[in-house]
Amino acid sequence: MSRHSPGLLVSADEIRVTAEMARLLLAESDIPKLSDELSAVLSYAASLQEVEVTGVPPMTHAVPDFCPLRGDVIEPHDSIESALRNAPSSEASFFAVPAVFGQGAAADDTMDGEG
């Protein structure tokens, strides 16, 4: 099941990996504090392990188990200007970002794209 049993301290390394996944730049000095705080919440949450849940389905939605479907129709939308108005950086009609295949990127983990 889990790599650690719940309640165990979240190590500094676990904090670093989690921050990478969440794309959060942490100062080294933030790490021990986060490690403590996450550990505190998770050890508090360890009480959930005491509850008998065999055969109980998890509740993921607070509404009846029914997914409404929409008709396949095109709805009018806003102009490209309004889309780009909020963009931190754009060129022509494109949103612009630092090069996806820039320095270091190709060898790292930006290659998750499905396309």
**Taking each helix axis from N to C terminus, what angle separates 12-21 and 30-45, rounded to the nearest 10 degrees?**
90
Q: Sketch the per residue contact string, 4 through 33, with another protein: x for CB under 8 A, - otherwise.
A: -xx---x---xx-xxxxxxxxxx-------
Give 90's strand partners. 95
User: Under a CB-based contact definition with an 8 Å cutoff, are residues 15 and 26 in contact?
Assistant: yes
Out of 11, 12, 32, 87, the only residue in the binding site for another protein (CB under 8 A) is 87
Q: Sketch the per residue contact string, 37 through 66, with another protein: x for CB under 8 A, - otherwise.
A: xx-xxx-xx-xxx-x-x--xxxxxxxxxxx
Measured CA distances, 54 to 1, 6, 45, 50, 104 (Å): 16, 18, 18, 12, 47
Q: How far is the CB of 32 from another protein (least distance, A)?
A: 13
At position 74, the amino acid (one-letter code) is I
Q: How far is the CB of 7 from another protein (least distance, A)?
A: 10
- The verdict on 88 binding another protein (CB under 8 A) reads yes
- Decide whether 32 or 47 has the Cβ nearer to another protein: 47
- Decide whether 32 or 95 has the Cβ nearer to another protein: 95
Q: For residue 49, what is the DSSP state?
A: G
